[in-house]
């Protein structure tokens, strides 16, 4: 019985030799896919919409005489409609 202490070595290839061409030297990956200024502007718009919705739904609930749990549920229903609206907009 001849036992070899060395097992067959597997060849490990580097990512560049795996058949994938490297990008040209003039290629630069985008550093920031999202513009921070636009993200801030969108957050401000959504915050304004939420605040306006709170005031409006609170006023409507008061006019309708919805208090306690019914007023709270009314707010969540109206808030849910706004969320769905912005989701599918």
Question: pLDDT truncated to tens, each residue of the chain (89 aa)?
Answer: 555 555 555 555 555 556 677 666 777 766 778 888 999 999 999 899 889 999 999 899 999 999 899 999 998 999 899 889 888 98
Tokens, residue 4: 């070899």
SS (H, E, C) 19-77: CCCCCCCCCCCCCCCCCHHHHHHHHHHHHHHHHHHHHHHHHHHHHHCCCHHHHHHHHHH
pLDDT of residue 86: 83
pLDDT of residue 41: 96
Distance CA 36, CA 34 (A): 6
Residues contacting 67, CB < 8 A, separation 6+: 61
């Amino acid at each position: 019985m001849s036992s070899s202490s060395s097992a067959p070595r597997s060849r490990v290839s580097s990512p560049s030799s795996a058949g994938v061409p490297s990008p040209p030297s003039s290629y630069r990956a985008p550093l920031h896919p999202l513009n921070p200024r636009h993200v801030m502007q969108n957050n401000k718009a959504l915050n304004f919409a939420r605040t306006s919705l709170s005031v409006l739904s609170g006023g409507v609930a008061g006019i309708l005489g919805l208090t306690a749990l019914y007023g709270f549920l009314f707010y969540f229903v109206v808030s849910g409609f706004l969320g769905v609206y912005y989701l599918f907009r």
